[in-house]
Structure 1
Amino acid sequence: MAEKIVSNEQAVLSHSEAPNKIENGSGDNFAPQKTDVGTQLAEAYEGEIRNPLKGMPRQQLLEDVARFRAEKGLPEDILPYLERGALVAQNPAGFEHVAELEESEKQAIRDEVLHRWRHPWALYYTIVLNSIAAAIQGWDQTASNGANLSFPDALGIPTSGACGPDPNAGLCAKNSWIVGFVNAMPGITITVFAGWVSDPLNHYLGRRGTIWLAAIFSLLAPFGMALSQTWGQLAACRMLLGIGMGLKEVTVPVFSAENSPTNIRGGLVMSWQVWTAFGIFLGTCANLAVGEVGTIGWRLQFGSAFIPAVPLVLGTWFCPESPRWYIKKGRYVNAWNSLVRLRNTKLQAARDLYYIHALLVDEERLIQEAGLKVNSSMFTRFIELFTIPRVRRATWASGVVMIAQQMCGINIISYYSSTIFEQSGVSAHTALWASFGFGAINFVFAWPAVFTMDTWGRRALLLFTFPNMFWSLLTAGLCYLISNEHARIAAVATFVYIFAAFYSPGEGPVPFMYSAEVFPLSHREIGMSWAVATNNFWGSILSLTLPRLLAVFKPVGVFGFYAGLNLVALLMIFVAVPETKQKSLEELDGVFSVPYRKYARYQFGTVLPWWFRRTFLRKRGEVCPELYHNDNDASDVGENSA
């Protein structure tokens, strides 16, 4: 299934012995546990999130740490940190009772809860660079939004007026499809090519190298769009833009997820959406700034998107590379150096390095014992997205949240808001101002998710926002029926803004962040490629069809259609998207080992009745039974004491 994480069978054996012991009393009294893989997978089916170090005798653990350091070529002077880090990883909740820890080290671990946003500058520098990459995506989207008002006429593909009075006439219909095709070209490119080529590029170039290559495309493509003389040239340049967008969409969320500490991973990874929204806002500002400069305005709108690519090209190589990518390549010394830059203390770096290694070795052992073939080819890993149960469930969940982002209707606003506002009866320049308001709302209301993503959780935000997106989008469409022009314009803008306000903290940030974390390391790049391709496939279908849908069904019909899809997406999320907050990337193996039939029965048979009793019967004190059990939730006081 994956590349070999360890090169020595003894290391695999030493770790595999860890979960096969249970405490039979206290101290060092242990009894054998069932060791067959069927039993362990059955435990996973019950939602068991296992710590492979739990219950391992102290001496065996320390010997294994020493062997690990020697086999991986790590410097001798980090052995004390690895030993203390392994003791903490064995029982995270009981770190206060690890006698070997210094008080400063204990305080650093306490601060992970008390001051969870206090981290080294290198971590935040990485997130800032990734945020710039996200801003490029948003600006690229919005550049075409404003240019849609003028580039069709300038390039000889008018969709109204010059092609005849009837919007359903043959020439208008043909031109509508061409405009849709030009707008959809980045999404088509990502779906067919860029999303998939990200997998081998990540394998060979790493996260930083792939992002830097994407930045080059994002820097050069806007100049080509600005200089295009035909719609074919413009489509070709947008294809190049799509390569840069696709490489970033696959890699940046994964890079952020792999570098981030578990307890704030959601808040940091969702910076992708916050700064995509900021890029949309900046794009609307640029559209306004050049919206009335004459016939070259659309060229400046397309060309302005090069601006945020400049700092990304210059700054990417100063980030620490993903330690998990280094581990996957067997470069443990590099992984250690990255973690030292990304964590507050060497103890925390050593703990994370050893615990990640232990979880990956345990995962590898279960795969081997289950009789699955280890193969690192891209084609085989793609097939395994749908054949290995744990990976298949992650594939399905990520696909649901990605499809839901297109089903909700946000991109009919992101790509065509200027056109939609213009159809409410305002001038082209006023439509740009209305789009500016949409961009500002989208950015401002993305911020609450930074602080709720790791407390409320990904799933809760989705379940809260989708019903509200349904009614607000439906109402925005119905407002087009208002006869008074001024009242119609105000009402449409108001409910579009309300829709954006609900979208931004929920379905906005969750899909890319969720998809970046749910796949195991062995399938993370190909899994993210699948998720991004899924998102962009449906996004390109939306971009391609919307000009024609608007001509035929008018905004009322289009808004009503997408409002209904919000309810379909809500049901899909309820039954198929597990919560992932506050769990390490490797611990999510336990979450996605639960069969979906069992998960759906739990949602309908346990969660839904509990929610009804709590909400309508006012039984506030009733606790919902848990589906998962996490070894790290409880502290075995004294287990690590001397």
Structure 2
Amino acid sequence: MSDQVETGQMTSDVDDDDNASSIFDATKFKIVAIGVIAALAGLMSGLDIGVVAGALEPFGRQFHASTIALEWVVSSMMAGAAVGAVSAGWLSHSLGRKRSLILGAAVFVGGTIGCALSWSVPSMIVFRVVMGVAVGISAFTAPLYLSEIASEETRGAMVSTYQLMVTVGIFVAFLSDTYFSYTNDWRMMFGVAGIPAILFLIGVLFLPYSPRWLIIQGRHKEARQVLLDLRDDPLEAAQEIRAIREQLQTKQNGFALFRTNSNFRRSVALGVMLQAMQQLAGINIVMYYAPKILEAAHFDAHSQMWCTAIIGLVNMLATFVAVGLVDRWGRKPILYSGFTIMALGMAFLGVLLNNGMETQSSQIIAVFLLMVFCAGFAMSAGPLMWVLCSEIQPLAGRDFGISISTLTNWVTNLAVGVSFLSLMQMLGSAGTFWLFAALNALFLVLTILFVPETKGMSLAKIEKRLMKGTKLRHLGR
């Protein structure tokens, strides 16, 4: 009899363990699926960044565009993104994170159709601005949404997934550009970018609302249900709801806080610096102008496109390193590695270009150095700047601080995009890459001096240290 009872108890324990494991697996799968769908906003950004690299040359030939006109075709997207980033804070607060993502996807679809049907340089610039508005909204909203859906343990990886999807979009765009380069069909290069955007638009419709936004709106039961679905432990969900309610007692009043609180101004300045570092590292000169760079290295037209696609593949694969290590190694060690790799890659590429690129071996080395540079960026500054910017802003100024840093990203991106071809003409290819090598060396020093290590730190602890006046580099661990 006792054996039967003991056996029954053991069976019950095993069943409970199986049920717990099943619930854990289902929860894990659900949050991963939500994260991937939300991060597809990055796919739209990547497609927009990547498609212009292949479309620029045939489009310019058809409409006899000057160098300055081509720079504005590239950079008009960033001007639109700056507008989108400025408006995204208000949209995400008023409409919610989910509806803002839906709006961004719909605008992006319209912009891609317009670019594919463009009849002149000015019309292309207008529709590139439209696409940029969508990208700016999504670039603000998606990392914010992901940081609010994720737990503290997975926050770094979840937000990094956004940048991973940016690199996937760039790679897909480069492959598409390469395929259509044989017919010089720049219209199809732009047109196919609308297909993933439509899929993203459909996927977002099935996402839950951000629990933080639901509580802001007074929809507490819905927020509780969302967190119960996304957390393994109901007690964890209840504690998170209490923490959100306590934080939300501090109302959003970012501009007033910026005027009156020097500690908040420090976090805004840090966010601005981080996003400027990301863009001035030089990644987008490779993403936008890779064929032009390879042309300077004496590659023929089709080789330029295939090498560009390979660079995009490396850029995508290296981002997996950041997603896998950001919550293990921490933010700063990865940034140290990335800026060192980028500085060396740019410096040696400048040496090659300065010495001439007539031999096949030198051309192969040039492509390798571009891949090394992209790998360094993709594993570090690419995703981690978004992670850090979502972590360092205090709750009362969160929307304002992230809006300013996202705006900085696109304004700096615009400055780089609109000046690169002219910079190459003025400084020469070698001098231009030495300039970016020096900038990356500078950014390594700035990371040491100012960037905090936020791995495993709650947003509340980071905010408490910030408002006490703790040095920026000591805000985290």
Per-residue displacement from partner, 1:122-180 (whole Å, max 9, x unpaired)? 322221112221111111111101112221111121xxxxxxxxxxxxxxxxx222211
Separation in 2, partners of 1:527, 1:212:
23
Separation in 2, partners of 1:342, 1:458:
25
- The answer as to whether partners of 2:181 and 2:302 remain within 8 angstroms in 1 is yes
Query: Alpha-carbon deviation of 1:314?
Result: 0.9
Separation in 2, partners of 1:337, 1:524:
25
Give the 5 Å matches for 1:195-344. 195-294=85-184, 297-344=185-232
Partner of 2:288: 415
Separation in 1, partners of 2:17, 2:39:
30
- Relative distance call for 1:398 and 1:118 in structure 2 (3 A) is farther
Is structure 2 residue 35 aligned with structure 1 residue 147?
A: no
Partner of 1:49: none
Partner of 1:475: 348
Is structure 2 residue 372 aligned with structure 1 residue 498?
A: yes
Is structure 2 residue 272 aligned with structure 1 residue 396?
A: no
Partner of 1:86: none
Separation in 2, partners of 1:207, 1:155:
40
Q: Which runs of 5+ in 1 are unaligned?
A: 1-102, 158-174, 365-373, 603-626, 630-642
Partner of 1:448: 321
Give 3-state SS (helix, strand or coil) of 1:592's partner.
helix
Separation in 2, partners of 1:119, 1:514:
26
Partner of 1:487: 361
- Relative distance call for 1:244 and 1:259 in structure 2 (3 A) is same
Q: For this pair of structures, how many residues does the alignment match?
A: 461
Separation in 2, partners of 1:290, 1:276:
21
- Relative distance call for 1:357 and 1:290 in structure 2 (3 A) is same
**Larger Rg belongs to:** 1
Q: CA RMSD in A?
A: 2.4
Query: Alpha-carbon deviation of 1:599?
Result: 4.9
- The answer as to whether partners of 2:74 and 2:417 remain within 8 angstroms in 1 is yes
Partner of 1:561: 435
Partner of 2:3: none
Alignment-mate amino acid for residue 260 of structure 1: A
| Percent of pairs with identical residues | 25
Separation in 2, partners of 1:145, 1:117:
41
Query: Alpha-carbon deviation of 1:383?
Result: 4.8
Alignment-mate amino acid for residue 255 of structure 1: Y
Is structure 2 residue 418 aligned with structure 1 residue 526?
A: no
Whichever structure has more helix as a proportion of its residues is 2
Query: Alpha-carbon deviation of 1:399?
Result: 1.4
- Relative distance call for 1:431 and 1:117 in structure 2 (3 A) is farther
Report the TM-score, using the length of structure 2 for normalisation: 0.91
Alignment partner for residue 189 of structure 1, among 64, 77, 80? Answer: 80
Alignment partner for residue 461 of structure 2, among 566, 587, 602? Answer: 587
- Deviation larger for 512-521 or 473-482: 512-521
Separation in 2, partners of 1:181, 1:138:
18
Alignment-mate amino acid for residue 302 of structure 1: F
Alignment-mate amino acid for residue 328 of structure 1: I
- The answer as to whether partners of 2:280 and 2:416 remain within 8 angstroms in 1 is no
Separation in 2, partners of 1:180, 1:482:
26
Separation in 2, partners of 1:535, 1:116:
38
Query: Alpha-carbon deviation of 1:591?
Result: 3.6
- The answer as to whether partners of 1:320 and 1:341 remain within 8 angstroms in 2 is no
- The answer as to whether partners of 1:470 and 1:563 remain within 8 angstroms in 2 is yes
- Deviation larger for 472-481 or 350-359: 350-359
Report the TM-score, using the length of structure 1 for normalisation: 0.68
Alignment-mate amino acid for residue 320 of structure 1: P
Give the 5 Å matches for 1:87-98. none
Q: Which runs of 5+ in 2 are unaligned?
A: 1-12
Give the 5 Å matches for 1:331-410. 331-361=219-249, 364=250, 376=252, 381-385=254-258, 387-410=260-283
Alignment-mate amino acid for residue 333 of structure 2: A
Alignment partner for residue 428 of structure 1, among 301, 325, 336? Answer: 301
| Larger relative contact order (CA 8 Å, sep ≥ 6) | 1
Separation in 1, partners of 2:142, 2:210:
11
Give the 5 Å matches for 1:97-112. none
Give 3-state SS (helix, strand or coil) of 1:125's partner.
helix
- Deviation larger for 583-592 or 410-419: 583-592
Partner of 1:535: 409
Separation in 1, partners of 2:418, 2:226:
43
